[in-house]
Amino acid sequence: MTLAELDLTGDLARPARLTVPDLLRWPQHQVRVSFECASSGVQHHGFTGPRLYDVLAVLLGVSIDGTPLDRAGPQLVLPQDRCGARHISGIREIRLDGGWVVGRR
């Protein structure tokens, strides 16, 4: 089985290439999300994974409803998002650029 890879690039001291098993080494958090899909109605899912950035409440989902996302790759999950059509799946790269100060809102 080929594992999906996520590249972290940009203004980083140590750019990285991660797989879902790599992401499982970070503390895991769980969120339940619900959204209404025009074609299939209301859907409810539970995601588990490490937070991308705690202040933003973004989760890098490595499983959905208990099913690993090893082949598909992680998903960005925003628990407060009301519309599932905006979810981002199969994440392959996250690029971080300078100019941001951690902790500043």
Tens of pLDDT, residues 50-79 = 887 643 476 788 898 999 989 888 887 766
- pLDDT tier for residue 102 given thresholds of 50, 70 and 90: low
H/E run at residue 20:
helix 20-23
Per-residue pLDDT, averaged over 72-94, amounts to: 71
Q: Which amino acid is at 2?
A: T
Closest by CA to 60, choosing from 101, 103, 31, 95, is: 31
d(C-alpha 81, C-alpha 89), whole Å:
14
Mode of pairing for the β-strands spanning 6-10 and 93-96: parallel
- Which residue ranges form the domains of the chain, and what is each CATH number? 6-96 (3.90.420.10)
- In order of 10, 11, 37, 97, the CA distances from 15 in angstroms are 7, 8, 36, 12
Mean residue pLDDT of the chain comes to: 78
